Amino acid sequence: MLVSLKHTAKLLKEQDNFLLLMHQSPDGDTIGACYGLAYVLQAMGKNVRTLCSDELPKKYEFLYRDFVQSKEVRSRFTVSLDIADTKLLGRYEQTYAGKIALCIDHHISNTLYAENTLLDAGAAAVCEIAYAAAKLLDIQIPSKSALCFYTGIATDTGCFKFGNVTPQTHILAAEIMEKYPNDYAAVNHLLFDVKSAVRIKLETVLLENMEFYSGGRCSVTWVTSEDIDRLGGECELDGLSAVALQPQGTEVGILIRQKGNSEIFKVSMRSTGNIDVASTCKKFGGGGHKNAAGATVSLPLGEVKKKFALEADRLIREHLSAN
Ligand SMILES: [Mn+2]
């Protein structure tokens, strides 16, 4: 059932014991919404625990490091944040898929798996919605929560640069900055400028591998597991696909990343303007937003490159003829 913001606030007020779920490969938005709500609910005296299938990136440590999990209780009101599909619960899918009482999300592709779903596909980040819900809880929102919500908004919009940014996005971010004291500039520096040495080397590999199609309007780049091992193992991959859209004249950027040592590749597509890459990713069993989408495919790398470059070419041609 789709529910309103007001109804969501009512549910959050009524319940005492919460389990807040983040999606696998957690990003700033799912972490921000989870801990933003977690601090608010704990400030209201409620029992709150958080859970994610994967380890939370160090980069976001400033959001979750002070959180203390509440003690175990028998049953909990389970809330999923930024999770369009139960598949994204990762290793917790089996346990929680049929037990989500409330889902707060901004993905148009949401499968409505939860008992109650608060969905606003017009929101740039789920943190916009979570912040709006928190404002209805009749409690002073802790500054730490506000920083969490701000982080989700900033990261899901690429620091207020992506096409999903609306006037409302700026209004909410401005309101947060005005009402809650935090060092927002320092946080943005940490989120958008600072990179680990491994990440910098990984970006170098991506730039070296980059190929161009559709007269330079499409870029395709990739990284294999072997590359990642050679560079010194895993590193933060947040926003990595933005690299594919950096070359001047590129309208569709495709980043292919090998998963493990098999022929399974995670493909991330980014686009500018009205080019809808979610439609392409859907064809391959994935999904996402108009300008940012992804899919996981099981094919040899050469085939993956060819198939996605062809699809991108079709999108670019359609876009050109429509203008
Ligand atoms: Mn999000």
For the chain, the structural domain boundaries read 5-192, 197-322
Res 118 pLDDT > 90: yes
pLDDT-derived band at 228 (thresholds 50, 70, 90) equals confident
| Centroid of ligand 1 to alpha carbon of 27 (angstroms) | 8
Six-digit token pair at 53? 């299938």
CATH architecture classification, 5-192: Alpha-Beta Complex (3.90)
| Centroid of ligand 1 to alpha carbon of 106 (angstroms) | 7
> Which residue in 220, 241, 236 sits closest to 307, CA to CA?
220
The matching CATH number, chosen from 3.10.310.30, 3.40.1190.20, 2.60.40.1930, 3.40.50.2000, for 197-322 is 3.10.310.30
Decide: helix, strand or coil at residue 81: strand
pTM above 0.85, yes or no: no
Length of the chain: 323
| Centroid of ligand 1 to alpha carbon of 142 (angstroms) | 22
Burial class (CB in 10 A: 0-12, 13-18, 19+), 313: middle
| Centroid of ligand 1 to alpha carbon of 156 (angstroms) | 6
| Centroid of ligand 1 to alpha carbon of 158 (angstroms) | 11
| Centroid of ligand 1 to alpha carbon of 15 (angstroms) | 25
Give the Cβ contact number of residue 109 at 10 Å: 16
CA angle 86, 57, 91 (to 5 degrees): 30
> Which residue in 156, 67, 110, 55 sits closest to 102, CA to CA?
110
Report the run of H or E that residue 205 belongs to, with start and end: helix 197-209
Six-digit token pair at 188? 């943005």
User: Can you tell me the mean pLDDT for 125-142?
Assistant: 98
| Centroid of ligand 1 to alpha carbon of 179 (angstroms) | 23
| Centroid of ligand 1 to alpha carbon of 230 (angstroms) | 31
Amino acid letter, residue 266: K
Res 48 pLDDT > 90: yes
Residue 260: phi and psi, rounded to 5, are 65, -150
The Cα 236–Cα 243 span in angstroms is: 14
| Centroid of ligand 1 to alpha carbon of 30 (angstroms) | 6
Res 239 pLDDT > 90: no
Going across the sheet that includes 17-21, the strands are 47-51, 17-21, 77-81, 102-105, 116-119
| Centroid of ligand 1 to alpha carbon of 82 (angstroms) | 5
User: Can you tell me the mean pLDDT for 43-52?
Assistant: 98
Q: What is the pLDDT of residue 277?
A: 97
- Does this chain's domain 5-192 share its CATH topology with 197-322? no
Q: Where are the alpha helices (DSSP H) in 47-157?
A: 61-64, 93-96, 126-134, 143-156
